[in-house]
Amino acid sequence: MNHPYCLFLNPRQGVPGVVVLTEGGFRRASAEITAWPGYAPTPLRELPAQGFASLHYKDEAERFGLGSFKALGGAYAVQKLVVGELARAGIRATGAEVFSGQHQPNVTVTCATDGNHGRSVAWGARQCHAACVIFVHEHVSQGRRDAIAAYGAEVREVAGNYDDSVRAASAAAESNGWHVISDTSWPGYTEPPRDVMQGYRLMAEEALAAMEQPPTHVFVQGGVGGVAAAVSVQLRARRIPAKLIVVEPDEAACLLLSAEAGEIRVVDGDLPTLMAGLACGEPSLLAWQELERAAHAFMAVPDAAAVEAMRALAPLGIVAGESAVAGLVGAILAGRDGALGLGPESRVLVFGTEGATDPELYARLVAGG
């Protein structure tokens, strides 16, 4: 693999900051999610080492049948919200009762999505018998829209990009008395995204628990930063001093831009990356509060490298969607140049965050279309 990339070492790593995710919150999220029907840890696959001591790929392609790690976050946040709303109505209900559909809450949840988060929220809403309206921007594929609608959600299109759909969902919720279950956060709106990120930590915990030796380097996708921040917190909770590298598409590198500026910055425009799940122009406030002090480096990689990685994984029996491989691409490219101290002693962990969440697009890309 030989592609250009951008690498920025974080000069603020190690600066003290706020506690974004508490340990008690993670214990509650883990207890609820691991009790859901069909829960099982996803595989940690060992890939050809690429010149490292080891290269492990956490394969999220089959998580709860939804095809991505997002199943851990949005659905858990819906469950927690519904429990709280029932309590306000004088109904005491456990998370298990709510998630098995034993109650009929008068609740509508909403969010914006590039595909996977909306699918998780829609699935969680169906499990909890809540109504659901999902906002997508005009570049979200029909296959991903159909996957959301299959869980009974209403899907509404918004002109513009992902960040425009976030604003549309928030405005609709305020007008209609709905509840926003977003995977991104902003000043004054942090609690559901915090629950989403606590759910994501379970993926990191599974991976770290499955490794015989802890990783020295962890590469994880960017997007708004929620999953990267969740991985970062779990590394610290386990006292693993691995270097955390956040990898984004070069067409939507809002976290790298923010790191360079030393404050949150926004990437405007259509964000025309093929890595649809990472086509985010504005970092999550909570995620940034963690990553600005904990990430070792930020990378931006091209779409062509992601497609090459998808094709390389397919003969190994690994189905990886276009947003699944950013971390893997980052590891291979940085390893090629010996950057970040990568070499034959390095134990590298990457997260394959989705399978073929748009099967038609996946087939076309892997076949060379």
- Does 1 map to a domain? no
- Does 281 map to a domain? yes
- Does 314 map to a domain? yes
Choosing from 150, 182, 214, the residue where a domain stops is 182
Checking phi first, is residue 281 left (phi over 0); if not, alpha (psi -120 to 50) or beta? alpha
Please name the amino acid found at residue 311: R
| H helices, E strands: number in the chain | 13, 11
Kindly give the pairing relationship between strand 44-46 and strand 54-59.
antiparallel
Q: Both ends of the chain: CA-CA distance in Å?
A: 19
Are 134 and 273 in the same domain? Answer: no
Angle, alpha carbons 289-186-178 (nearest 5°)? 140
Please name the amino acid found at residue 362: Y
CA distances from 5 to 148, 244, 305 (A): 33, 17, 10
- Give me the domain span that covers residue 362: 6-70+192-367
- Does 222 map to a domain? yes
Are 252 and 197 in the same domain? Answer: yes
- The Cα 43–Cα 69 span in angstroms is 12
DSSP lists the bridge partners of residue 218 as 244, 349
Q: Active site residue: 58, 59, 80, 114, which one?
A: 114
- 58 given a catalytic annotation: no
Are 20 and 119 in the same domain? Answer: no
Are 53 and 164 in the same domain? Answer: no
The answer to whether the beta carbons of residues 86 and 94 sit under 8 Å apart is no
Choosing from 164, 182, 200, the residue where a domain stops is 182
Are 59 and 37 in the same domain? Answer: yes
- Does 187 map to a domain? no
Number of domains in the chain: 2
- Does 81 map to a domain? yes
pLDDT tens, residue by residue, 328-348:
999 999 999 989 999 999 999
Are 160 and 209 in the same domain? Answer: no
- Does 257 map to a domain? yes
Of 181-190, 215-224, 285-294, 360-369, the poorest mean pLDDT is in 360-369
Are 148 and 292 in the same domain? Answer: no
- 146 given a catalytic annotation: no
pLDDT tens, residue by residue, 126-180:
999 999 999 999 889 999 999 999 999 999 999 999 999 999 999 999 999 999 9
Are 42 and 151 in the same domain? Answer: no
CATH of residue 136's domain is 3.40.50.1100
Are 16 and 134 in the same domain? Answer: no
- The Cα 167–Cα 123 span in angstroms is 22
pLDDT tens, residue by residue, 273-317:
999 999 999 999 999 999 999 999 999 999 999 999 999 999 999
- Does 308 map to a domain? yes
- The Cα 149–Cα 171 span in angstroms is 21
Query: pTM score > 0.85 for this model?
Result: yes
Q: Active site residue: 58, 70, 80, 243, which one?
A: 70
- The Cα 7–Cα 50 span in angstroms is 19
Are 286 and 156 in the same domain? Answer: no
DSSP 236-253: HHTT--PEEEEEEETTS-
- The Cα 126–Cα 154 span in angstroms is 12
Q: Strand order in 108-113's β-sheet? A: 154-158, 131-137, 108-113, 179-180
The b-or-e profile of 231-257 (16+ CB within 10 A means b, else e) is: bbbbbeeeebebbbbbbbbbbbbbbbb
Choosing from 182, 216, 251, the residue where a domain stops is 182
Q: What is the pLDDT of residue 368?
A: 82
- The Cα 366–Cα 310 span in angstroms is 7
Are 239 and 223 in the same domain? Answer: yes
Are 63 and 88 in the same domain? Answer: no
pLDDT of residue 351 exceeding 90, the answer is yes
Q: Strand order in 297-301's β-sheet? A: 6-9, 297-301, 243-249, 217-221, 347-352, 54-59, 44-46
